[in-house]
Amino acid sequence: MGVIVQEQAGLFHLQSSGMSYLIQIVDGYPVHGYWGGRLKHRETMGDLLIHTPARAGLDRLPQEYPQYGSGDFRNPAYQAELEDGTRITELKYDGYRILKGKPPLSGLPAVYTEDESEAETLELVLKDAYSGLKVVLLYSIFTDRNVIIRSARLTNEGDKKLRLRRALSASVDFSGHSNLEMVHLSGAWAREGNMKRRPLEQGETRIDSKRGMSSHQFNPFAALVTPKTTERHGEAFGFSLVYSGGFEAGAEVDSFGSTRFSIGVNSFDFAWQLNPGESFQTPEAVMVYSAQGLGEMSRTYHRLYRTRLCRGKYRDEERPILVNNWEATYFDFNADKLVSIAEEGAKLGIELFVLDDGWFGKRDADNSSLGDWYEDRRKLPDGLADVAERINRLGLKFGLWFEPEMISPDSELYRKHPDWCLHVPGRRRSEARWQLVLDYTRQEVRDYIYDSLSAIFSTVPVAYVKWDMNRALTEIGSAALPAERQAETAHRYVLGLYELLERITTDFPHILFESCSSGGGRFDPGMLYYMPQTWTSDNTDAVERLKIQYGTSLVYPVSAIGAHVSAVPNHQVGRITPLDFRGNVAMSGNFGYELDLTKFTDDEKETVKRQVATYKQIRGLVQQGDLYRLKSPFEGNESAWMFVSEDQRAALVYAFQVMAVPNAPQRTLRLDGLDPELEYEVEPGTGGEISIFGGDRLMQLGLPLAYEHKDYQSRWFRLRALKPGKA
């Protein structure tokens, strides 16, 4: 397994334990031959591939990194403009190299290996003889995962300038499949992660972000599936971009029924100048194949991202249960109020207190002080360190909110450096939430933020940071870049962000960083490389969270999904739901509370104490187990999912009914992921009689399930495999 080469046939066979990917060189062009279930390697493998000569027309050739201008009229993977203004290049094969393991990408987040035996990497070298453009296509194939990771490195080896106008990470031509459908995630602020599925027809089906961030509107992920693909059955081909800026992903069906899927940095308003000797590295696209439906595709992404994308101290550690003061106090607080919430949290077993917005500068509303990262002594007369130490003495760790990529026009920083924001001279500066975006292409700006934050981290016992980013990029220009590089600003912004995050997370490895962008506006693999969890949505309503968390899990592991219990009526939709219902939804992610614990009744406090104690027992399985989605909230009144341990001996099942059903039929819930040969004790989470069922029965006939005759009902069950002979 790995990369197998038949040089005479020009054949490259990338093979894992359950997948194959075939490339053949045809008339100098890398041609895509196959991607799917594992094939045995044979000397006659080349017979499987297409032998149509390129002279018959590139428009009919399934290519690996297609170009435009020489007969292929579909979307290209790249486009380069030469110094004379022409835009015709023709990349031809010029050799290959095989590397053990998976090399890192310079300046970009990337999936990694801990041992070189985990993967092999193929580098295919392509060159345009006329311009000197050289492109290296990188393919990393994992030995025991159905994963291929692709990217491209474009280098100017000529003696004149080149200007890249398009440089995508991956392109795949599906010539052997017809009637494919595309599954993706879409939405808006407060309703992220909605699963969409639509058939592909002749023409283009495209998602993208032009916002300078991966966005609430579309996630940088899509899967191609067959019409018969379900959660458990059928083929799925997943594409996920490890990038946090504007992106594009789309499928184009030609007149012969072939589908070209491509993904990468958004080509809109993008250009990159390559002087002689300079290179441009694309972000990587993580491609996953599943023959067992969307569920197995998701679990492949989860295991990979949880263990080979996330890094650091908290990658494998259980995450703390927190309480955040935002919806409890908003901007109106003092030190004693914060400590009073923490005191209640300590009594209930909570482990981390997070001080959200409003602690710095003169921040009494969201119209000032971003950039002034020093404590407001009006609210905290003895400073942050005093509050943190008082909370630490209660037995809780201390966390802090920042929005380090933004600047308020009403701030000391802006009055001193009005040119430090993204802007175009002579044009108005569009404010959103009364704030502008700092120009992270500039080293001095990043150094200022680093120095400001590190000064706090070095003097205050901060154990957790919520790193927020609350607006998209507008007037995307930089006072520090020359005219010919202005179209590079958006991508350079992301590269600057990554450089800063690498410095901070390396220098303060004890801090658990959580990414946020008004919730899920930047929930992407690029951020997970630096921050192992993300605030999934500002919408904390439990009913809405069923969809948000279910959809987000299509590609992202539960260990990355922040989920909190908030007050009722809910602050986003006004809905009133039971505390148990809210708790069971939130316990299906990284669990916490976002409310004023001091206002709870004694009964509510007992419920919280029970929830906290329960989550401490189960969080290892929730955060590190395999997720199986059982019922979709996008398809009806009920939702259900379960978590299964790697050895299949332990599991948790969660089931939800939103609205009461009159004269409801008797229900069973078919489980998944269990060992059919084992017997399981099934214990209701709220107590009650323990039953014993075989794994085969639970998966084939189902678990008996009943709800009370009330709206907003939930049930959960704990499963433990019996030792042989115990039954």
- Quick one: CA torsion of 422, 428, 432, 436, rounded to 10 degrees? 30
Active site residue 468: yes
Selecting among 468, 580, 626, 672, the annotated active-site residue is 468
Distance CA 449, CA 455 (A): 10
Number of other residues whose CB lies within 10 A of the CB of residue 481 = 16
Asked if 493 contacts 270 with a C-beta cutoff of 8 angstroms, the reply is no
Amino acid at 570: N
In the chain the first and final C-alpha atoms are separated, in Å, by 42
- Helix/strand/coil for 35: strand
**Tokens representing 292?**
């067992």
Distance CA 414, CA 423 (A): 13
Number of other residues whose CB lies within 10 A of the CB of residue 146 = 26
- Quick one: CA torsion of 336, 341, 345, 348, rounded to 10 degrees? 110
Closest CA to 363 of 322, 396, 406, 420: 406
Distance CA 656, CA 74 (A): 46
Distance CA 516, CA 527 (A): 9
Distance CA 437, CA 45 (A): 53
**Backbone torsions φ then ψ of 517, nearest 5 degrees:** -150, 80
Active site residue 59: no
Q: Of all helices (H) and strands (E), which one includes residue 223?
A: strand 218-225
Closest CA to 529 of 275, 205, 311: 311
Distance CA 282, CA 170 (A): 9
Closest CA to 408 of 375, 433, 428: 433
Selecting among 128, 524, 538, 541, the annotated active-site residue is 538
Exposed / middle / buried, residue 711 (Cβ in 10 Å: 0-12, 13-18, 19+): middle
Distance CA 284, CA 690 (A): 48
Distance CA 189, CA 428 (A): 25
Number of other residues whose CB lies within 10 A of the CB of residue 704 = 12
CA angle 186, 189, 193 (to 5 degrees): 30
Asked if 280 contacts 153 with a C-beta cutoff of 8 angstroms, the reply is yes
Residues linked to residue 287 through DSSP beta bridges, in sequence order: 148, 239
- Helix/strand/coil for 166: strand
Can you say whether the dihedral through the CA atoms of 222, 282, 247, 205 is positive or negative? negative
Can you say whether the dihedral through the CA atoms of 436, 188, 550, 640 is positive or negative? positive
**Tokens representing 118?**
């985990």
**Backbone torsions φ then ψ of 456, nearest 5 degrees:** -70, -45
Distance CA 188, CA 519 (A): 10
* Alpha carbon distances (Å) from 720 to 38, 71, 674, 684: 34, 61, 10, 12
Exposed / middle / buried, residue 201 (Cβ in 10 Å: 0-12, 13-18, 19+): exposed
Helical spans, DSSP H, in 231-348: 293-308, 326-329, 335-348
DSSP state of 645: -
Cite the active site residues.
Answer: 468, 538
